[in-house]
Amino acid sequence: MSVLNNKKILDASKLSLILNRLASQLFENHNDFSEAVLIGIQPRGKILSKKIKELIIKNYGIDDIKLGFLDVTFFRDDFGRKNKILSANKTSIDFIVENKTVILIDDVLYTGRSIRAALTALQSFGRPNKVELLSLIDRRFSRHLPIQPDYCGIQVDSINNQRLTVKWNEIDGEDAVYIYKKNGKKT
């Protein structure tokens, strides 16, 4: 699917503003991050969580922020139900989450099923004091589970035959968010 068939809803400039706002909100709520950790949900939350951490370090001088990455593939409730083979990513959490505030980070909150899987997978690493959710995009009318973000970049009201794609410069060559119909037609 080419980028020409997509409608860009956020460009790099707008994404930068949103990311800076999210980093600011996290700093306001967690100050020095001595009691909070960031965990990016694989695969796309990994890049977002790295960007958020970099902004907190750059803008607020907090350089001791714990960052991990969580793969939820085998914890999903649809694992094994599809006729396709899912590829897993590596979980990398080299710190204790026990009695910490865990901030789960993902790019798009859609049905809530990935977040439910992340909450289940997180139990393998201890019992956090609290779990918060940061989502760049909240597709609020598509939820299957009662899950809401604590930190939200932008809410996008889209219908189920539409798809959102977050592109990151590191892997896609640009920072942008596109919306398109699942069959590839413009919306």
CATH value at residue 128: 3.40.50.2020
Q: Evaluate whether residue 135 is within a structural domain.
A: yes
Angle at 53 between CA 152 and CA 120, to 5 degrees: 65
Q: Which pLDDT score is estimated for 94?
A: 94
With both helix axes pointing from N to C terminus, report the angle between 44-60 and 12-30 in degrees, rounded to the nearest 10. 70
Return d(Cα 21, Cα 52) in angstroms, integer: 10
Overall domain count for the chain: 1
Task: Report how far residue 87's alpha carbon sits from residue 131's, in angstroms, rounded to the nearest whole number.
Answer: 26
Asked whether residue 123 is assigned to any structural domain, the reply reads yes
Radius of gyration of the chain (CA): 16
In a domain, 55, yes or no: yes
Residue 80 pLDDT:
52
Contact between 97 and 126 (Cβ < 8 Å): yes
Asked whether residue 166 is assigned to any structural domain, the reply reads no
* Confidence at residue 89, expressed as pLDDT on a 0 to 100 scale: 78
**pLDDT value for 180:** 87
Mean pLDDT, the chain cut into blocks of 10 residues (187 residues total):
68 98 98 97 94 97 95 71 63 93 96 93 94 95 90 88 90 93 57
pTM as predicted = 0.89
Could you list the residue range(s) of the whole structural domain that residue 69 is in? 13-161
Give the per-residue pLDDT at 165. 92
Q: Is 74 inside a domain boundary?
A: yes
pLDDT given for residue 6 in this prediction: 75
Whether residue 180 lies inside any domain: the answer is no
Report the half-sphere exposure of 181 (CA within 13 A, side-chain side).
Answer: 6
End-to-end CA distance of the chain: 14
